Amino acid sequence: MASLAAQSVSCELGALSWQRSAVAGGLPVRRSSSVTLAGVTKTNRSVRAAANPGSSSSSSRSSESDAKPSNAVSRRSLLAVSLSAATLAPLLSPSLPSFSLLSPALAADVDLSPAELEAAVRRAVAKVVTRAKAPGALRIVFHDAGTYDLATNTGGMNGSVRFELQRPENDGLKRTIKVLEKVRLELGPLAKVVSWADLMAVAGAHAVESCGGPHIPVRMGRKDASGPDPENRMPAETLNAKEVAASFKTKGFSLQETVCLLGAHTLGGKGFGDPTSFDNAYYSILLTKPWLDTSNSMADMLGLPSDRAIVDDDDCLVWINKYANDQNLFFRDFVPAYTKLVNSGAVWT
């Protein structure tokens, strides 16, 4: 590996079938491009093998030291780029996700299946989003997707919250954006093909799982919005139970899904148990109505007004009791509810 890093790399880029490279700083790359390393011509497949030595096949190890660049393409249609050893080193690092230069998958940018890309994003997220940062990662999902309106099919999970940070309901989310920017740095070249919406969806799922909740698969391929979504679409914290249900209904959620999603308030404090544990404490604590304890000087700080309202609603109470008594049921129901949330309004590549 060290001897290869000492060599320069010549990349021949064809003028036909150009695509953005996922590894070479965004340079357009032809599907038939090859990479010559110290006299050894490696195809896209062998670049993938170099990044994952354990999975390389015997064919990918074959040496073609006498190989010469093809003259079949005119000089005018070729672009020679010399990459330094410092640029090459990350491509050959076993710690990077397995990928080759080209693929029809995900807008023909990287040779990764959606599942492989999701796994790569999860690895990058896990390096940055600790349990202490998990509540913010989950909260930003709700605030990005919360602008969805079913009647007009507008808003939703599109990364637009980046343009809405000045809104009162999004107070504090600038810190989470900075955290996710660090994740994008961890992604390296893959950041070019991972939208903000996808990153938020995966980070929120990671937040749930890393804090003890269920694993939630996340479909990749959401497109980002180029500006903010309409205002006044997030449910206000002061809504009563009927208003909460009505607000979520405009986004396509049933009462059961609404109560289930509100269980995400178990992360981040507000008096619902350990702020970095994803469990059913939200429901069990709601049933005790701790805000009524006049001897507790912090009683007014427990939960949001809307949290307190739903426990006094008979229809909501049915599901609060179910989830308080069965954490596994809460987990099972949360997975499809979260999936529906992060798919709300998504425009797919």
- Give the catalytic positions in this structure: 143
For residue 219, give every residue at least 6 positions away whose Cβ sits within 8 Å of its Cβ, in sequence order, or none: 114, 118, 339, 343
Q: How many other C-beta atoms can be found within 10 angstroms of the C-beta atom of residue 328?
A: 10
What is the token pair recorded at 165? 């940070």
Cβ neighbours of residue 67 closer than 8 Å, sequence gap 6 or more: 36, 39, 40, 41
Helix (H) or strand (E) holding 193: none
Provide CB contacts within 8 A for 41, sequence distance 6+: 34, 35, 64, 67
Between CA 336 and CA 322 the distance in angstroms is 17
**234 backbone dihedrals φ, ψ, rounded to 5°:** -75, 140
Write the CB contacts of 183 (distance below 8 Å, at least 6 apart in sequence): 121, 124, 125, 127, 128, 129, 199, 203
